[in-house]
Structure 1
Amino acid sequence: MVKQNSNENSDGTSKASHRCSWRCLGPLTFHTQAVGDTVCLSHGHRRAERNKDTFRNGLVFSSRPLKLQERLRVRLEKDSFKWEGSLRVGFTNVSPSGRPLPLPSMAIPNLTDTPGHWAAALPEYFCQAGSELEFWVCTSGSINVTCNGSETEKLLTGVDLSHPLWAMIDIYGQAHSISLLGSEKQGLVCRRSCPAPEPLLSPDCDNQLRLLPDVSPLVGDGDEDTVLRDMETSEENRCVVCMMKEARVTLPCGHRCLCSHCCSMVTQRFGTCPLCRHQISADEESFCAGLSSKTPDQTHQMTVAH
């Protein structure tokens, strides 16, 4: 049996604290223990790649249970036409932390033939490199999917909603590498997942452990007056990380979504835009890190000039 990490709850989620608003659905990555034999996790446990010359042994699971109607968003990074078939996606109410290793070689039929697992194969035209998929469980117990904003398609029905549900993905066949882009739950207010809390160890593909750099808290001493002023701004203009300060930093991708303080944290720890996951280069990271020491007016002038 898999030994539970002392830094995890019984459902496999991290015990590490994180600062979020009420709109946050919680941190979300791939589960770090329950992965297929050929899978390598990187990019803060958000990139999963099948690293051997085979079409199977590519199972991954979400790090925590997902809520009903919470849409998991995944991008296919690499494909290979050497094999037939592609991604299989679904849900399970069997906790990844309690699974014996090694994992079964395929989601279908190895997992779907056992109780508590529901998965379906996606059409190959859904799974070309660059495709972005969303899949979720409806309140009726059906699993739905969209590809690149297309119309919703129903994959299967009959999911048991009486227990927590973890997402599971089989990086199968032509699918070679995927990235977890986060999740969102639509409603009167759209709620989203957040980056993983610190301190997480991220195994790179060469199995070298890398500790994410320590950064300052989101709101430090002497920031209370700034926070109170910024809270008067509309919610759509607030920083998407702390949800308290005004978003004054425009990232290279064009999203103006971070305050200067959170910009330094996000670029150092994750290196991507929190909205679109655009990779931030080293030069751009240095630029963003320098904003944390500037006044609001200086920050605005620098981002416009940049």
Structure 2
Amino acid sequence: MGSFFSTLLGDVTQVSYVPLVFHPDTKGSQIVLDVSQYIATRAATFHDGIVFSNRPIKVNEKVTVEILKEDDRWIGGLRLGFTSKHPSLMDSSDLPPYACPNLVKQGKCWASILPDEYVGEGTVVSFWVNSKGSVFFSVNYESGSYLLLEGVPVRKPLWAVIDIYGRTTAIQLLDPSRPKRHMYESSQKLFDVAGQNESACRNCYEENSIGKECAVCLCHKANTVMLPCCHANFCFCCSTRILYSSSHCPLCRQKVEKILRVSAWAGRGIPANWLGEVKDSSPPP
């Protein structure tokens, strides 16, 4: 076991070290966490991707993330910062779509935009707050650092805030107590399209299910296919939750390897896309 020393009011009480992961409950509506809770993927759109740390961050403790996936259809990237409000006291449904400026304007949150040159796929970004309340960041473990923002009150407990925004669609939280994973489930399950072809995609969707109500939430339209069982009774949000929770189709209990998002036009001969549709047609602000 490691140690965690609280920096609040000079307290140096030693307690058990708590591994740094993403907060499991409070997160943006488009965020999906893997089982380990240190890989976060934004399922769709360019916003609603706010995540928090599971525990307070010490002064000068580095929060390090690797950008695993990006989508060049959008612009902009990560927003980084801290909040003095315990994430467990927040309601996910009340989270705004953006950390900057929306969450910052709500108070008790300090965040800023990471420059575009540092949001590329494979980049490792570390950020931390010093004893004077200044937030710095560095990239790819380089010794140099850059000022991100100032004025953070460090005499209060602070949780990390990360907005997986714009081009950035998936990140991995790197904890020094845990070995880095070079491959991860969300990449394999959500983005791997190897071996699939247009004909197989069209044969897979069920014409009698696509477009009807989702069998789970009964609110949204069914627009995904479970593979390999090919049941198509679920909306994208519910399919994603199933993939990351039980990983078994609710209808036949067969293990789900991938989910295929099917366009409403698939039946007319236009190929379905692997998570290729987005509801937003306008670029991010």
Alignment check: 8 A CA contact 1:25 1:194 kept: no
Residue matched to 2:51: 60
Mapping 1:201-240, distance limit 5 Å: 206-209=243-246
Letter in 1 for 2:138: T
Mapping 1:172-211, distance limit 5 Å: 172-182=165-175, 192-193=176-177, 206-209=243-246
What is the number of equivalent residue pairs in this alignment?
Answer: 174
TM-score normalised to structure 2 length: 0.58
CA distance in 2, matches of 1:155, 1:47: 23
Residue matched to 2:153: 160
Are residue 93 (structure 1) and residue 130 (structure 2) matched?
Answer: no
C-alpha spacing 1:205/1:109, structure 2 compared with 1 (3 Å): farther
Letter in 1 for 2:81: G
Q: Deviations over 1:77-124 (max 9, x none)?
A: 001111111000000000100002312111011111122100010011
Shift of 1:174: 0.4
Which residue of 103, 125, 130 maps to 2:122?
130
CA distance in 2, matches of 1:126, 1:87: 9
Letter in 1 for 2:165: Y
Residue matched to 2:134: 142
Mapping 1:64-79, distance limit 5 Å: 64-79=55-70
Q: Secondary structure at the match of 1:110?
A: helix
Letter in 1 for 2:42: R
CA distance in 2, matches of 1:79, 1:145: 20
Q: Deviations over 1:117-144 (max 9, x none)?
A: 0001001110111000100010110000
Alignment check: 8 A CA contact 1:40 1:205 kept: no
Q: Deviations over 1:148-173 (max 9, x none)?
A: 13320010100011210000100000
Alignment check: 8 A CA contact 1:90 1:168 kept: yes
Shift of 1:207: 3.9
Q: Percent identity?
A: 37
C-alpha spacing 1:208/1:149, structure 2 compared with 1 (3 Å): closer
CA distance in 2, matches of 1:60, 1:79: 17
Q: Secondary structure at the match of 1:74?
A: strand
Shift of 1:43: 4.3
Alignment check: 8 A CA contact 1:33 1:97 kept: yes
C-alpha spacing 1:121/1:204, structure 2 compared with 1 (3 Å): same
Alignment check: 8 A CA contact 2:2 2:17 kept: no
Q: Secondary structure at the match of 1:86?
A: coil
Q: Secondary structure at the match of 1:136?
A: strand
C-alpha spacing 1:194/1:130, structure 2 compared with 1 (3 Å): closer
Shift of 1:209: 4.1
Mapping 1:116-127, distance limit 5 Å: 116-127=108-119
Alignment check: 8 A CA contact 2:138 2:146 kept: yes
Are residue 27 (structure 1) and residue 64 (structure 2) matched?
Answer: no
Residue matched to 1:45: 37
Q: Deviations over 1:170-204 (max 9, x none)?
A: 0000001000011xxxxxxxxx5569xxxxxxx97
Moved more, 20-29 or 57-66: 20-29
CA distance in 2, matches of 1:90, 1:173: 17
Letter in 2 for 1:61: F
Shift of 1:206: 1.4
Q: Deviations over 1:41-100 (max 9, x none)?
A: 004001100011x11000000000010000011000001111111000000000100002
Alignment check: 8 A CA contact 2:127 2:137 kept: yes
* Superposition CA RMSD, Å: 2.0
Q: Deviations over 1:6-50 (max 9, x none)?
A: xxxxxxxxxxxxxx0447742111000111100100040011000
C-alpha spacing 1:51/1:65, structure 2 compared with 1 (3 Å): same
CA distance in 2, matches of 1:128, 1:205: 30
Residue matched to 1:83: 74
Q: Which runs of 5+ in 2 are unaligned?
A: 5-15, 180-239, 248-285
Q: Deviations over 1:204-224 (max 9, x none)?
A: 7614248xxxxxxxxxxxxxx
